[in-house]
Amino acid sequence: MIRDLSLAIAPSTHEDQVRELLLKGFAKKGLNVKQDSHGNVLAYKSIGENPVILSAHMDEIGIMVKYIDKDGYIRFVRLGGYDPRYLLGRSVVIFGKEEVGGIVQVEGDIEEKEKIKTKDLFIDTGLTKKELQELVLPGDAGGVVGTFNETNLYIQGKSLDDRLGCYVLLEIAEDVPDNVVLMGSVQEEVSHEGKGAMLASWELDPSMFIAVEVAGADDAPGGRESIALGKGPAITVSEISAIGNVARREFVQGFLYLANKEGIDVQLEVTEHSATEASNLFNMKAGIPSIAISTPIRYIHTFNEMAHKKDIEDTIRLLRAFLRTLQ
């Protein structure tokens, strides 16, 4: 299932491939499942007032067609935040009237460029401008064709952010008590606030919101090792230098207590530049209590990310322990 989720191509605004996997996966676990008007997937046994929401976003970083130039090459903008150098030489799929494949290349001599910018890149589909215009329009979204590898301890693949969160939700689905909603959300990568999660939460009015996310591990050469692989899930204490949510101390202490009780190693994360859906949910309505529980991954937003299997398993164990407190 992790392989299928990782290899699915689902850029923001075009989450269909992952949505289908979640709809089928939650239904197989015996949950009620529906797609709301915004495209979010909602799975639950029953819903009352002020449910608890656990959310993982379905979308991934990608591209959006800006225009087709005079020579028939696609110029594009980024969907989500990443270094455009990671796109160079990648195969991509654009979801137009039909799926159109292409290769990302750079205009001019790469050795003469101090830094590659998105405007320097183009997509070569092999089609003429006239042929492309019949299939692709400005605003059409696309994503990178990825690979997936597995060893005894690690997995490597595209879009582990946040397909690991989606996988965790599927794994804990059988343990969901009443008045808990598992959500696959849309359009997180194109907004710090998580558009889909905010819209769904406004309607559901949750008593608590948990972003089931990934945390960027910085334990590779040159990193600070504040978050590392193999050392357990990360509890996000604050986001974007505390401009976003600052989790209530009792939430952190509660998860630390559960982790200690279950014998799970955990890490505490304070982010400086990034945010999860929990960031803005914290500020919605009268203030929705929110926190992010994340699986560490290396090389976040690079189209080839890495995770430790034990961290994934321990994230599942921690959230199962949390759900037992709600029964």
Catalytically annotated residues: 188
Query: Which string of b and e fits 218-253 if b means at least 16 CB within 10 Å?
Result: eeeeeeeebbbbbbbbbbbbbbeeeebbebeeebbe
Burial of 29 (0-12, 13-18, 19+ CB in 10 A): middle
Half-sphere exposure for 274 (CA within 13 Å, toward CB):
21
Rounded distance between C-alpha atoms, residue 314 and residue 264, angstroms: 6
- Helix H, strand E, coil C: the string for 181-196 is EEEEECCCCCCCCCHH
